[in-house]
Amino acid sequence: LSWLELCIASVADQQGAGNVEHIVCDAGSEGIELFLQHMHHRHPDRPDYRLRFEVGPDRGMYDAINKGLQQARGELCSYLNCDEQLLPGALAAVRGHFGRPAAGDVLFGDALVVDADGRALCYWRPYVPTLRHLSGATLNTLSCSTFFRRNVVEAGHVFDPERKVIGDLLWIRGLLAAGRPMRC
C-alpha cells in the first residue's frame, strides 16, 4: 500500500490535465479499508480530480484493469500499476497531444525507471511497435506511459484476464492488427 500511496499522489498532483477520474481497483489487500479512509482524507474530491476505489475480488491484474476501464467515463484513458507513478505535467502533455490533428488512438510516452529508493536506473524512450517486431521481441512500451482513447475500450479492445504476464503485449498486438493508429 505504500507504493499505491505514491501512485495515487502522482495522479492527484497533476496540474492542467482537465478533469481526472482516478479509479483504483484492489482485490482486498490487507489494510485496504483504513488505507481508503486515509487516501480520501489526503486527496479529497476536487473539481479537477476524483478518486474512487473499487474493492472486491478479481481474476488478476488484467481483470482489475478491465473493470476500471469499463467504469471510466473520460475520453482519454490509461492505467498504472501500484508501483508506477506519473511525472509532474504528464497528463497535461498527454491532453495536449490528443488535442492535435492526427493524434492517433494510442500514445506511448517516455519514462524513467527507478529503483525502490527512487534512484534513476534508466530513461525509457519507446517507439511505435509493429506486428513484425512483436512476433520475435518483447514489448518496448511501458504501461505507465501508455495512453489511449476511450473508443479503444468501447470497440472491445480489453485485456485477456487469463494472462498473467503478457497481457499488455497481446493487447498491443490486437490494437496493431485492428489498425489502430499509434504515436510516440
Per-residue pLDDT of the chain (184 residues; tens, 9 = 90+): 999 999 999 999 999 999 999 999 999 999 999 999 999 999 999 999 999 999 999 999 999 999 999 999 999 999 999 999 999 999 999 999 999 999 999 999 999 999 989 899 999 999 999 999 999 888 999 999 999 999 999 999 999 999 988 999 999 999 999 999 999 9
Q: Do the beta carbons of residue 142 and residue 130 sit within 8 Å?
A: no
Q: How far is CA 126 from CA 34, 111, 183, in A?
A: 38, 8, 10
How far, in Å, CA of 178 to CA of 156, rounded?
A: 11
Category of 179 on φ-ψ map: left (φ > 0), alpha (ψ -120 to 50) or beta = left
Nine-digit cell at 182? 499509434
**105: closest CA among 68, 148, 66, 76?**
148
How far, in Å, CA of 164 to CA of 58, rounded?
A: 13
Contacts of 137 (CB under 8 A, 6+ apart): none
Alpha-helical segments (H) within 72-180: 90-98, 131-134, 150-154, 167-177
Nine-digit cell at 64? 482489475
